[in-house]
Chains A and B, each alone.
Chain A
Amino acid sequence: MVERFRAFSFVDRITRLEPGRRIEGQYTVPATATRFPASLMAEAVGQLAAWAAMSHVGYAYRPVAGLAGETRYHGTIAPGQTLELEADIERCDEEAIAYGGKASIDGRCVIELNHCVGPMLPMEEFDAPDAVHADFETLRGPGAPAGRFSGVAAPVIKLIEHVGGEKLRAELHVPAEAPFFGDHFPRRPVFPGTLLMDCLSTLALQLAREAPSLQGAELAPSKFTDVKIRSFTAPGQTLELQVDLQSATAEAAQLKLAARAEGKGVATARIEIARRQ
């Protein structure tokens, strides 16, 4: 498939690997990328850790998005910039990978992830193990071709309930077709959890702006905690998103995030929206 290893792959090169312990790599956002949400920096660190996990278990299993205890944002990234990626593997077996990691630009940390866990599932459900192994060798050797990612379209979110300064509910219409489904994953298209978090953070930002203590301030997501992805979201699915403002000070707002499909929980998280430093 033409989009495989292109449309949603955020590691260009693996520069160092201590099997089962640590991995380092790089990713350059193509200068031509139309939209690169901040949550894709977390995706890049997670994908780097996934390469460590998949190679560790002989490509028989692959991790999927599960838990992210804490993700702190310290900066942003622009097209053309390069992320230096690193991940420390706390545990890796056929059940799960547990890891932490970070990404830096020119030596400055822009995102750090702590206490992340990716449940491992049989690789055959998602991709061809031999092809994944070959991609790993490419990343370890010459590196992947540059400029593979072209950007993701802005999500289609429709507000269905708005209680000023308290709550937002909206529908997210996951596209039935998108280039990233060809890469995430080739045998089983799944809407990426990091894009779901991007949609929820967009709503959270809107609600945080209504907090009296933050009105008029320039705000940005500063921290996600307790992210939990409970089930896969398929192409074309409609999700109900809900954001609740829990508290706000002069510096930051704390909000609860949830996504459901047909009444069943798909994902939950907490987010802090803070004044931009």
Chain B
Amino acid sequence: MQQQVISKEEIDAVFPKVAQIIADALGCDVEDVKPQVPLIEGLDAESIDFLDLVFRLERGFGVKIPRGKIIEDARGDLAEADFEQKGILTDAGLARLREVLSEVSPDRFKSPMKAADIPRLFTPETFCKTVIRAQRAAQAAA
């Protein structure tokens, strides 16, 4: 499945609200929430924070973000075995992840890469794109 392009303008439109929600969830200053700061290494986010963040984004934007949505978006129409094997991303899986997380600096994608380490790549911009995809899905379903 070819990922639909998300424009910079679309990201800029949702970023201020996403940044405020991230700041509220992490208890940090909104000024520290730069679009491409890694949430785990840069803002000390933990797994409970991601859970918090997804529910806050759902409430804040009135959208549904299903469990594992970001990784599901990355996998697209690849079968699970084509995306990862024994917890390690396949070449095809890594390529798809790079495409979906295009906002992430290329040097942050390790090879081999564990599927469990994917959240280490997430930035505020990742969640902007997740919100935009969820908004599009909601519009398509309406």
Contacts and interface: CB of A to CB of B under 8 A. Distances in A.
Interface residues of A, number: 15
A162 B68 CA distance: 44
A134 B42 CA distance: 46
A119 B49 CA distance: 11
Interface string A69-102: 0000000000000000000000001111010000
Interface of chain B, helix or strand or loop or mixed?
helix
B61 interface: no
A268 interface: yes
Interface in A179-233: 226, 228-230
Contacts of B68: 95
A93 B67 CA distance: 9
Nearest to A229: B48
7 contacts: A93-B67, A94-B67, A96-B51, A98-B55, A119-B48, A119-B51, A228-B49
Contact of A67 (B46, B48, B67): B48
Nearest to A258: B27
A117 B55 contact: yes
A226 B56 CA distance: 11
Interface string A90-120: 0001111010000000000000000101010
Given A230-B46, A268-B27, A117 B52 contact: yes
Interface string A140-178: 000000000000000000000000000000000000000
B27 A67 contact: no
B59 interface: yes
Nearest to B52: A67
A117 B51 contact: yes
For chain B, which range describes its interface: under 10, 10 to 19, 20 to 34, or 35 or more residues? 10 to 19
A226 B53 CA distance: 12
Given A93-B67, A95-B67, A268-B27, A67 B59 contact: no
A229 B49 CA distance: 10
The 8 closest A-B pairs by CB, nearest first: A95-B67, A67-B52, A230-B48, A117-B55, A66-B48, A93-B67, A96-B51, A117-B51
Interface of B: 24, 27, 46-49, 51-52, 55, 59, 67-68
A99 to B, nearest CB: 11
Nearest to A94: B67
A187 B51 CA distance: 25
Contacts of B27: 226, 268
A261 to B, nearest CB: 14
A50 B68 CA distance: 22
A67 B67 CA distance: 17
A228 B55 contact: no
A117 B53 CA distance: 11
B133 to A, nearest CB: 19
Contacts of B52: 67, 117, 228
A119 B48 CA distance: 8
Interface string A226-247: 1011100000000000000000
Contacts of A229: 48
A245 to B, nearest CB: 17
Which of A96, A226, A228, A229: most chain B Cβ within 10 A? A228
Interface string A6-44: 000000000000000000000000000000000000000
